[in-house]
Amino acid sequence: MSERRGGGFWGRLASNRLALAGLIVLVGLALAATFGPGLYGQSAVRLDYAAINSPPTAAHPLGTDSLGRDTLARLLLGLRVSLLVALYVEALNILLGVPLGLLAGYWGGAADFLVSRLADILFAFPGLLLAILVAAIFGPAVTERFGGIGRLLLVAGALSLVSWPLMARLVRSQTLVIREQEYVLAARAAGAGGGHILRQHLLPQIAGLVITSSTLNVAGVVVNEAVLSLLGLGIQPPDPSIGKMITDAIPYLERNALQVFLPSAALLLIVLAVSFLGDGLRDAFDPQTRR
């Protein structure tokens, strides 16, 4: 097991070709989502009655959906929504799940009891009901001030309040192991404070797990947003999201498979890019993993 090269975090990341590819794809997707709709110019919500479920044509390079809306324009705008929601939900998930998991795993005792029982309760709690309540109470006001995306973030935020326990339990399980390792016990015996142990030993070691788990969750977030749309709690029509485009096109799968394939491919691309970049990040945090 030899250290291959130095160059620090970024150097190690850059030397991992798959991770680099993942990063480039993600940056590309983010740029497309940010500037694409403006550059492409076609409306994502304009209906073209003459081109319903149309295959690719000069006017619609990637075809149209069941209302004659331009698929390329919807993909670009949908990427924006889906990437934003995925980033937001994963950030909340990490912000809530990691500290609480560390707390429960490292300190144990009363902290573990409180966090773990809260996690049990939230695991069982029907989050959908909370989403319905929050959308009904705060939805109209939020929609008025921040538009449909505001309501979507509101609902997704409410669901994050009940979805962090899995992350917390993962972190807790890893922390339970690490805190009993010889070097951690040694550091503690040598009088190292909680902060030192957290920075030097805990965070680097749970980073891999957190990255793997949250990169995988990205797919779940994109799909769940589409499921929420089926209940009127997702993106506000007529705006698209990647997941919504898939559910909209599914009834026409056997006649217009391209319209299912394109957003599904976009979803797969996001998941692959995020996962490969995640692997690279994990390795970069941790030079010794590389052989």
Partner 1 sequence: MMHSIQRIALLLFILALLAAPAAAQDGTTITWSIEGINDVVSLDPAKASDAQGFTVIGLLHAGLVRLNADLLVEPDLAESWSISDDGLTYTFTLREGAAFSDGSPVTAEDVVWSLNHALDPNTGGWTGPYLLSNIAGSDEVVSGEADTLSGVQAVDARTVTITIKQPSAYFLSQLTFGPAKVVSKAAAEASADNLDQASVTSGAFAVQEWNRGQGLVLVPNANYWQPAAQVSRLNIVFNQDSETAYQRFRTGELDIMGGAQNPIPAARVPEVKDSPDFRTTNAFNLRYVAFNNQLAPFDDVRVRQAFAHAVDKVTLADVVLGGTVTAADRILPPGMPGSELPIEPLAFDPDRGKALLAEAGIDPAAFTLTLTYGVEGDNERVVTVLQSMWQENLGITVTLEPLELSTFSARLNDTYQDPANGLQAYYSVWGTIYPDPQYFLSQVLRTGVGNNNPHFSNAEFDALVDEADVIIGDFARRAQLYNQAEQIAVNEVGWLPLFNGQVNVLVRECVQGVAVTGLFSAYVIPDYSALRGCQ
Partner 2 sequence: MLRLVLRRLASLPFVIVSVTFVTFIVGYLAPGDPILALMGNQRDPALYERLRDIYGLNRPWHEQYLSYLGGLLRGDFGLSYRFAQRPVLDLIRDGIGVSFALGLAALTLSVAVGVPAGIFAALRQNSAAERGLMALMLGLFAIPSFVLIPILQWANYQVYRAVGSALPAAGWGRPEHWVMPVLVLSAASLGYIARLTRANVLEVMRQDYVRTARAKGLRETRVRAAHILRNAALPIVTVIGPSVAFLVTGAFVVETLFAIPGVGFLSIQAVGQRDYPVIQGTTVLLALAVVAMNLVTDLLYMALDPRIRVDV
Residues of the shown chain interacting with partner 1 in the complex, contacts defined by CB under 8 A:
45-47, 49, 52, 66-67, 132, 135-136, 140, 143, 229-233, 236-238, 251-252, 254-255, 261
Among 5, 24, 55, 289, binds partner 2 (CB under 8 A): 289
Q: Is 126 among the residues that bind partner 2 (CB under 8 A)?
A: yes
Measured from the CB atom, is 51 or 172 closer to partner 2? 172
Restricting to residues 156-185, which ones interact with partner 2 according to CB under 8 A?
Answer: 165-166, 169-170, 172-174, 176-177, 180-183
Candidate ranges 32-40, 75-83, 233-241, 262-270; the one touching partner 2 (CB under 8 A) = 262-270
Choose the stretch contacting partner 2; rule: CB under 8 A; options: 26-34, 76-84, 121-129, 140-148.
121-129
Residues 53-92, interacting with partner 2 (CB under 8 A): none
Among partner 1, partner 2, none, residue 6 binds (CB under 5-8 Å by kind): none
- Position 247 contacts partner 2 (CB under 8 A): yes
- The two tokens of residue 193 are 């404070």
Q: How far, in Å, CA of 124 to CA of 276, rounded? A: 32
**Binding positions for partner 2, rule: CB under 8 A:** 1, 18, 108-110, 112-113, 116-117, 119-121, 123-126, 128-130, 132-133, 136-137, 165-166, 169-170, 172-174, 176-177, 180-183, 205, 208-209, 212-213, 216, 219, 223, 226-227, 231, 243, 246-247, 250, 253-254, 260, 264, 267-268, 271-272, 275, 282, 286, 288-289, 291
